[in-house]
Amino acid sequence: MRPPCDPSKFVADAVKNIPPSGIRRFFDLVSGLEDIVSLGVGEPDFITPWHIREMCIHSLEKGQTSYTSNYGLPDLRDALSRTYYKRYELDYDPSSEILITTGVSEALDIAVRTVVNPGDEVIIVQPSYVAYVPSVILAGGKPVIVSTYREDDFSLTAETLKPAITDKTKAIILNFPNNPTGAIMTQEELEGIADLVVENDLFVISDEVYECLTYEGKHVPFSSLDGMKDRTVMLNGFSKAYAMTGLRLGFAMGSPEIIHSMMMIHQYSMLCAPITAQIGAIEALRNGNEEMERMVREYDRRRHFIVRGFNRIGLECCNPKGAFYAFPYIGNTGLSSSEFAERLLDEKKVVTIPGDVFGEAGEGFLRCAYAASIDDIRKALDRMEDFVDGLKQ
């Protein structure tokens, strides 16, 4: 009889060292519970608009179920090129500067692997989306954390960034509008970052998936700044703006050299994004603005409602200017972020995500998604007020 073995010894060290997602941990805690009100899911509560679903259905009825080009459908890349030129006068060649991916998550993964060599330092601005640090570690890079603060509305300043840059720094990952804080960056602030990028010969991976969910001012793509197009790969997708999360469709825009290199990884790991989703995305870009703007107006209404509510019950909350997250401060309650979120779930059946999941700079805060109905937000606020009042007794 052959001896047994321990399969865990075959798992790569880099994978062993990746922490589990704090977001998924809270969803596991919720499993099986009743009467839950969730502000935890970073997903639109709207259904994908009918005309987009109808186009997907029609494509299946016509038997359009084949592979596409590794780069994605030419019509989709052309529609994206036209869209970004119309919005920002950004000129991306659809034949060589746009890659369609299976969600923005894939775009992030292959962008990092394209740019990072083992030992390269990559600056990650926190609080930030949970995937950035693991992506850098899996590529053999070293994450270098730069924190933002509520005193600055969680925006990044050149003064904060500069001390983190060394001769080993290769790239910066930016995410504005930001998950989890809802922060945005003005053009003036971004110009200061761009100056440092040039001075230190750096590359920027700019995750702009919440681009269309900008409520105050106008979104400024980092690549639209003078001299930044060739130093930036812009990542985006259809999940947030068009409520197409389950269709898993993203895209990357950048120089031909970067996009071709990303495609080389993409063709061996994913081959192509699903054709049905790509056909739906073409419809979204051509005819989806009215529905998208309607959803954004509703998010904006909820944004004002939830921020007023948090401030009323004594949880100070900065005004988020983008995305669909509020980030109230709970540090004055005497509880850590995790303690507050776990007790709130256990005692009041309200799901939030503790801020420290998004980095040390998030300690003392909660991420609360207002991608939920006003009724659910009101119910969550009422329960949170009872919880906070109970802590004072």
For the chain, the C-alpha Rg in angstroms (whole number) is 21
Among 233, 264, 288, the domain boundary falls at: 288
Q: Is 167 exposed, middle or buried (0-12, 13-18, 19+ CB in 10 A)?
A: exposed
Residues 58 and 13 in one domain: no
**Has this prediction a pTM greater than 0.85?**
yes
Has residue 1 been placed in a domain? Answer: no
The rounded distance, in Å, linking the Cα atoms of 22 and 38 is 15
Q: Burial-class residue 218 by CB neighbours within 10 Å (0-12, 13-18, 19+).
A: exposed
Q: Is residue 2 part of a domain?
A: no
| 155 occurs within a structural domain | yes
Q: How many domains does the chain have?
A: 2
Question: Do 176 and 232 belong together in one domain?
Answer: yes
Q: Do residue 56 and residue 15 come from a single domain?
A: no
Do residues 194 and 222 touch, judged by C-beta distance below 8 A?
yes
393 within domain boundaries: no
3 assigned to some structural domain: no
**Collapsing DSSP states into helix, strand and coil, what is residue 381?**
helix
Are 134 and 257 within one domain?
Answer: yes
- Of the three residues 243, 268, 288, the one that is the final residue of a domain is 288
Using CA atoms, how far residue 281 sits from 5, 114, 227, 313, 377, in Å, is 47, 25, 30, 41, 30
Domain span holding position 148 = 50-288
> Are 211 and 324 in the same domain?
no
Residues 310 and 175 in one domain: no
Interstrand relation of 366-369 and 121-126 (parallel, antiparallel or unpaired): unpaired
Along the chain (393 residues), what's the average pLDDT of each consecutive run of 10 residues?
93 87 75 86 94 98 98 98 98 98 98 98 97 96 96 94 98 98 97 98 98 97 98 98 97 98 97 98 98 98 98 96 98 96 95 96 98 97 97 83
Give the CATH number, domain containing residue 259.
3.40.640.10
Asked if residue 382 is part of any domain, the answer here is yes
pLDDT of residue 233: 98
* Alpha-helix residue ranges (DSSP H) falling in the chain: 13-16, 22-30, 50-61, 74-88, 103-115, 132-138, 158-161, 187-199, 256-269, 275-287, 289-312, 337-348, 374-392
Residues 295 and 326 in one domain: yes
Same domain, residue pair 261 and 121 = yes
Domain membership of residue 122 (yes or no) is yes
**121 and 238 share a domain?**
yes
22 and 64 part of one domain:
no
Which residue, 239, 256, 288, sits at the end of a domain?
A: 288
106 in the same domain as 255: yes
How much is the pLDDT for 41?
84
Place of tokens 């790239």: 171
In a domain, 70, yes or no: yes
Q: Using CA atoms, how far apart are residues 350 and 108, in angstroms rounded to an integer?
A: 31
Domain CATH code at residue 315: 3.90.1150.10
Residue 354 and residue 216 share a domain: no
Q: Is the dihedral of CA 96, 227, 163, 363 positive or negative?
A: negative
Beta strands 121-126 and 169-175 are parallel
Contact of 226 with 255, CB cutoff 8 Å: no
